[in-house]
């Protein structure tokens, strides 16, 4: 898939088929996340792959917008390490770049994916820390639900020329 096609056609997919995702494909998606830019190249991220129904149910119980995990074949919890981030506040920015790379890689590989936000909602983050038994310096940032798509979402027109400025507002 050509880069601009991937960017313009990627959609949040919330319905998935029962087809299983090979772990090598999941690794490739995570590697794409690891190639994201990060402040001072600190690469503060950690990734936890999960697929057990009990884990998905525990997440859905505390996160009202995570229902797509029920059908997802796998999920990836993207975290950042407060000890590794460049400075306070850079972990979330670096993690967002990793998530975007992973969403595009998923699309390129024929998978459907959906970004499930955790940060900056501390209650959600704390629940995820408990579910996964994370140490205090590892902060949950987002979850990516993964599966082979069982829906086809059209590409909307998001181009808004009135929001583009040249050297002044």
Domains and CATH numbers, the chain: 17-150 (3.40.109.10)
Q: How far is it between the farthest Cα atoms of the chain?
A: 52
pLDDT digits 0-9 by tens, 10-55: 999 999 999 999 999 999 999 999 999 999 999 999 999 999 999 9
pTM above 0.85, yes or no: yes
pLDDT digits 0-9 by tens, 108-138: 999 999 999 999 999 999 999 999 999 999 9
Q: What is the torsion angle, in degrees rounded to the nearest 10, for the CA atoms of residue 162, residue 164, residue 168 and residue 169?
A: 50
């Amino acid at each position: 898939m050509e880069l601009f096609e991937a960017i313009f056609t990627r959609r949040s997919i919330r319905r998935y088929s029962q087809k299983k995702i090979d772990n090598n494909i999941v690794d490739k998606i995570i590697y794409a996340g690891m190639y994201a830019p990060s402040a001072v190249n600190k690469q503060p991220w950690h990734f936890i792959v999960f697929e057990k129904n009990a884990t998905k149910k525990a997440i859905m119980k505390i996160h009202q917008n995570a229902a797509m995990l029920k059908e997802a074949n796998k999920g990836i919890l993207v975290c950042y390490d407060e000890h590794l981030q460049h400075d306070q506040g850079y972990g979330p920015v670096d993690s967002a770049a990793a998530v975007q790379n992973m969403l595009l890689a998923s699309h390129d590989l024929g998978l459907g994916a959906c970004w499930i936000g955790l940060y900056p909602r501390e209650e959600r983050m704390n629940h995820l820390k408990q579910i996964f038994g994370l140490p205090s310096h590892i902060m949950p940032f987002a979850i990516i639900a993964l599966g082979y798509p069982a829906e086809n979402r059209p590409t909307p027109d998001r181009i808004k020329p009135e929001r583009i400025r040249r050297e002044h507002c």
